[in-house]
């Protein structure tokens, strides 16, 4: 398996931590008490696909021969198929394990880190060995790393949802995440309503989001503010006694848990979000700025007006 573990020294250091060693050992071998020395050897040199397949084939074939009384051809075909399945499942588990180690070395493990529960690992193992695409391997690894770092951060409901995800859903979630506003909702610009409706129809089919529906945009004295993490979108607009209505959708708790584990949630497309609001005829100007807390109140500073020329620039 031609995969390189980044930061070998960091990985080796990580494997001295009991809780990380227990989780990774359980994933690659199905056993909790895997010796540290074995894990270190495994992390430095993953056995080749060919060698692994030959070893499994030989073991199963030797056992099968003692039972092959009448139809050896049928037995051989069954052994070959079983071998391929076992090899593919093991490679998937090891791919997830390697990716998990790399993710865990990105930051120091907190003192509260612990090996996931038995119930979690049973469900996780079954899903890990069925992964194939790079997106799903990365997602599974981040789920395991997140559960090690913060026990209980991944609900069983979210884990069940992951079992039905495919590449298209993961890629759609990746496209949606940079547009996420505070309180886990997203605005749907009028010019791309059909595109966004398709995305949320797909995500809502697996309980990651709602479908697109109407949302109220609060307005006071001709101003409205929408927060996006440490930033905000400021709008000047026509006054309304009841506020203005826009299309939008929200992420469910499952969707929020998944986004919190993935690496793309910090890359907010704040300028594109602002321009999406500007498409409404009741919005006059849009600006973006930084949010700070001052004397218990939130304020927006360093504001700059957003125009079409700044689309895509963050």
In angstroms, rounded to a whole number, what is the distance separating the alpha carbons of residues 79 and 73? 10
Query: How much is the pLDDT for 31?
Result: 52
- Position 296 scores a pLDDT of 73
Between 276 and 242, residue with greater pLDDT: 276
Share of the chain above pLDDT 70, in %: 69
Q: Where are the alpha helices (DSSP H) in the chain?
A: 8-14, 18-29, 36-44, 49-65, 72-104, 118-128, 134-149, 156-162, 167-176, 193-204, 253-261, 270-278
Tell whether the model's pLDDT for residue 7 goes beyond 50. no
Position 179 pLDDT exceeds 90:
yes
User: How many Cβ atoms are within 10 Å of 298's Cβ, its own excluded?
Assistant: 11
- Residue 213 has a pLDDT of 94
User: Is residue 44 over pLDDT 70?
Assistant: no
pLDDT at residue 96, as a whole number: 86
Q: Residue 123 — pLDDT band, cuts 50, 70, 90?
A: confident
Of 12-26, 115-129, 191-205, 288-302, the least confident: 12-26
Q: What are phi and psi of 111, to 5 degrees?
A: -65, -25
Question: 306 or 33: whose pLDDT is higher?
Answer: 306
Whether pLDDT at 155 is above 90: no
* φ and ψ at residue 259, rounded to 5 degrees: -65, -35
Distance CA 200, CA 186 (A): 10
Mean pLDDT, range 156-184, rounded to an integer: 87
DSSP assigned state of 181: B
Tell me the per-residue pLDDT of 85-109, one tens digit each, with 9 for 90 and over. Answer: 666 777 888 888 888 888 887 777 7
C-alpha radius of gyration, the chain, whole number: 25
Phi, psi of 35 (to 5 degrees): -60, 145
Confidence of residue 3 (pLDDT cuts 50, 70, 90): very low
pTM listed for this prediction? 0.66
pLDDT confidence of residue 251: 95
SS3 of residue 222 by DSSP? coil
Per the CB < 8 A criterion, the answer to whether 104 and 64 are in contact is no
Domain boundaries, the chain: 8-154, 175-310
Higher-confidence position of 123 and 8? 123
Q: How confident is the model at residue 42 (pLDDT cuts 50, 70, 90)?
A: low
Beta bridge mates, 298: 293
49-82 tens-digit pLDDT = 455 555 555 555 555 455 444 455 544 555 565 5
């Amino acid at each position: 398996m031609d995969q390189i573990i980044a930061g070998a020294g960091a990985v080796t250091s990580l494997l001295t931590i009991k809780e990380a060693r227990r989780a990774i050992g359980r994933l690659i071998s199905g056993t909790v008490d895997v010796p540290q020395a074995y894990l270190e050897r495994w992390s430095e040199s993953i056995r080749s696909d060919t060698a692994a397949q030959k070893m499994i084939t030989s073991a199963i074939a030797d056992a099968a021969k003692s039972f092959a009384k009448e139809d050896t051809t049928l037995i051989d075909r069954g052994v070959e198929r079983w071998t391929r399945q076992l090899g593919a499942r093991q490679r998937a588990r090891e791919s997830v394990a390697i990716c998990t180690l790399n993710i865990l070395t990105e930051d120091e493990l907190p003192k509260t880190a612990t090996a996931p529960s038995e119930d979690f690992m049973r469900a996780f193992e079954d899903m890990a060995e069925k992964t194939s695409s790079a997106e799903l391997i990365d997602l599974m690894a981040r789920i395991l790393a997140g559960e090690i770092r913060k026990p209980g951060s991944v609900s069983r409901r979210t884990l069940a949802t992951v079992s039905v995800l495919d590449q298209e859903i993961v890629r759609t979630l990746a496209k949606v995440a940079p547009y996420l506003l505070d309180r886990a909702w997203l605005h749907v610009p009028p010019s791309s309503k059909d595109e966004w409706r398709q995305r949320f129809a797909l995500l809502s089919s697996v309980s990651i989001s709602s479908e697109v529906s109407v949302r109220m945009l609060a307005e006071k004295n001709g101003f409205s503010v929408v927060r996006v993490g440490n930033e905000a979108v400021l709008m000047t607009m026509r006054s309304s006694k009841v506020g203005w209505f826009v299309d939008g959708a929200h992420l469910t708790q499952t969707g929020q848990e998944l986004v919190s584990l993935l690496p793309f949630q910090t890359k907010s497309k704040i300028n594109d979000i602002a321009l999406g609001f500007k498409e409404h005829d009741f919005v006059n100007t849009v600006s973006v700025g930084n949010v700070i807390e001052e004397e218990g109140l939130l304020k927006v500073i360093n504001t700059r007006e957003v125009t079409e020329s700044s689309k895509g620039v963050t």
